[in-house]
Amino acid sequence: MKFGILVNEGPYTHQASDTAYQFAKAALEKGHKIHRVFFYHDGVNNSTRLTEPPQDDRNIVQRWQKLAADHKVDLVVCVAAALRRGIKEENLAEGFRISGLGQLIESGIQADRLVTFGD
């Protein structure tokens, strides 16, 4: 099955990004396809390369980056939500790209299931 994922909450503050990642990982291991992860609302904060969690904690940003690199997952950050929160090309982590909300709608059209993670 082809999945699209929507992440609506920021890393560390909220479980949403962790659960979305675990879901994506499990789906890929089962042979499903994740064609895109779209980051919206505070979810855009998952894409900053300035994140430096303590060494004994998971690195949420790097986890997404590795997932994208290993499985060719398209990580898309909403431009309007990102600019509101100070995320720009200059502090965007590698593996993510900034684009418009149309990418979310397109994901809903193209994927068999679009799964939302948030409040």
Helices in the chain by DSSP H: which ranges? 16-29, 60-71, 79-84, 102-110
Cβ(112)–Cβ(1) under 8 Å? yes
Least Cβ distance, residue 42 to another protein (angstroms): 8
Closest distance of CB 81 from another protein, Å: 6
Interacting residue with another protein among 5, 6, 68, 92 (CB under 8 A) = 6
Is 78 an active-site residue?
Answer: yes
Taking the C-alpha atoms of 79, 81, 84 and 86 in order, what is their torsion angle to the nearest 10 degrees? -70
Q: Is 53 a residue that touches another protein (CB under 8 A)?
A: no
Contacts for 13 with CB less than 8 Å, ≥ 6 apart: 42
DSSP symbol at 15 = S
Q: Is residue 101 near another protein by the rule CB under 8 A?
A: yes
- The size of the interface with another protein (CB under 8 A), counted in residues, is 19
Residue numbers 16-45 binding another protein by CB under 8 A: 40-41
Active-site residue list: 78
Using CB under 8 A, list all residues that contact another protein.
6, 8, 40-41, 80-81, 100-102, 104-106, 108-110, 114, 116, 118-119
